[in-house]
Structure 1
């Protein structure tokens, strides 16, 4: 039995979990989410304020994305 596309449930959708992280060097706050890829990625994310490394990953299919939300002086981005 076929279900019309508009009535189909997309249960394979994975919700993104969002966390707030702080740069350990300057205190800038970031919204961290993850993007899922089929092919493993290697890389790192740096703080946009001070350049310190926020996170590194090696051959991972779940790659973190960082969005600056608050600078160390408390001003929103």
Structure 2
């Protein structure tokens, strides 16, 4: 709607938010949701003309020591 230059009406915004919540809830209970893959796109964000966020490189660590080693590597030992 923003792309077309039309301001969305509150009822439409509310319905898009409800749809997003429902889709996200269903996704969270799926196999993809448990692994964080294929997240549904937000209808509300599309309506409001928000730019999609870039996927960031998310890393997980099995231990604090593993994190510390990676941190030292990334910062080259600098604090």
TM-score class, shorter-chain normalisation, is: under 0.3
Higher helix share: 2
Give the greater-gyration-radius structure (CA).
Answer: 2
When the two structures are superposed, what TM-score results if normalisation uses the length of structure 2?
Answer: 0.23
